[in-house]
């Protein structure tokens, strides 16, 4: 991270958080608590497990705006968030588009509990939340919990440190989710599922579901072979893609 980027991020945090001094105490590891409430200047509140860096994703989503493609969608009605974590993107989308239905999916039991707290404390009425994962099959998978950073929980253990705890999680294909929830069209889909993005999209292609998605953004490690594979898959299915760091944005 460059010095200019650090300065811009610091200014962004001060502008965004009402209790920004508290944020920096936790960000710099001077304090660690299980349940902390961070407050935005716009009135939003966030329950966070600060022992596992859960707050970092809030500043990332709201300040860096990796999913800014959503703002290009005219009057979205259906927004889907896979890898909802504690609600940073889902709540942003729900507040910005109060007439939209936001579907938030989070595989982690702990993150899901915090997600529900954040939906409730902010009185959000247009988010439907689900505690299961998305995959390329309808199955049950072992889910590995990162002991130091809840953002990095994953179904893939290989090469990942701090993954000492695991439990079984129910997973569903994208086509199954669309059918069960009677979703005919998704205006915007966000994917941040730690290495499973390409599998999910490849399965959606096979099940002819990508035609029901107007725009999406996926966060995938640029060093992964799945990054270029995802770009190729989306281009083949009629999406125009843009790449910014680890974010692939795609729109028809």
Q: Alpha carbon of 52 to those of 95, 150, 152, 195: distances in Å?
A: 26, 6, 10, 20
**pLDDT of the residue at 154:** 80
Nearest to 90 by CA among 78, 74, 79: 79
Residue 74 near residue 96 (C-beta atoms within 8 A): no
**pLDDT of the residue at 31:** 85
DSSP state of 99: T
For residues 33 and 50, state if they share a domain.
yes
User: Can you give the CATH number for the domain in which 155 is found?
Assistant: 3.40.50.150
For residues 81 and 160, state if they share a domain.
yes
**pLDDT of the residue at 158:** 64
For residues 165 and 138, state if they share a domain.
yes
For residues 192 and 229, state if they share a domain.
yes
**pLDDT of the residue at 64:** 93
Per-residue pLDDT of the chain (252 residues; tens, 9 = 90+): 688 888 999 999 999 999 999 999 988 888 888 889 999 999 999 999 887 777 888 999 999 999 999 999 999 999 999 999 999 999 999 999 999 999 999 999 999 999 999 999 999 999 999 999 999 999 999 888 887 777 778 877 766 666 668 889 999 999 999 999 999 999 999 999 988 999 999 999 999 999 999 999 999 988 888 999 999 999 999 999 999 999 999 999
Nearest to 87 by CA among 29, 50, 45: 45
For residues 77 and 40, state if they share a domain.
no
Tokens 């499973």 -> residue:
196
Residue 252 near residue 239 (C-beta atoms within 8 A): yes
**pLDDT of the residue at 1:** 64
Residue 151 in tokens: 């953002």
**pLDDT of the residue at 156:** 79
**pLDDT of the residue at 155:** 78
206-241 in b/e form (b: 16+ CB < 10 A) is eeebbebbbbbbbbbeeeeebbeebbebbeebebeb
Q: How many domains does the structure of the chain reveal?
A: 2
For residues 16 and 129, state if they share a domain.
no
For residues 49 and 72, state if they share a domain.
no
Q: Alpha carbon of 166 to those of 61, 90, 98, 107, 135: distances in Å?
A: 27, 25, 36, 12, 17
């Amino acid at each position: 991270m460059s010095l200019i980027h650090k300065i811009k991020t610091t200014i962004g945090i001060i502008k965004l958080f009402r209790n920004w001094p508290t944020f920096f105490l936790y960000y710099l590891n001077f304090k660690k608590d299980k349940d902390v409430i961070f407050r935005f200047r716009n009135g939003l509140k966030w329950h966070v497990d600060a022992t596992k860096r859960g707050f970092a994703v809030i500043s990332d989503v709201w300040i860096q705006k990796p999913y800014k493609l959503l703002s290009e969608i005219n009057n979205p009605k259906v927004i889907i968030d896979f890898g909802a974590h504690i609600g940073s993107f889902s709540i942003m989308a729900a507040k910005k588009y109060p007439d939209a239905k936001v579907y938030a999916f989070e595989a982690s039991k702990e993150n899901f509990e915090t997600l529900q707290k954040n939906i409730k404390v902010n009185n959000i009425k247009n988010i439907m939340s689900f505690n299961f994962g998305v995959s390329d099959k309808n199955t049950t998978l072992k889910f590995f919990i990162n002991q130091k950073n809840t953002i990095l929980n994953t179904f893939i253990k290989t090469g990942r440190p701090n993954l000492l705890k695991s439990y079984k999680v129910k997973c569903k294909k994208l086509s199954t989710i669309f059918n069960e929830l009677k979703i005919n069209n998704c205006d915007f889909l966000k994917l941040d599922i730690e290495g499973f993005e390409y599998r999910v999209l490849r399965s959606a292609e096979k099940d002819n579901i990508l035609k029901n998605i107007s725009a999406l953004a996926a966060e995938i490690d640029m060093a992964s072979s799945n990054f270029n594979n995802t770009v190729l898959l989306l281009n083949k299915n009629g999406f125009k893609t843009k790449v910014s760091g680890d974010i692939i944005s795609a729109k028809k």
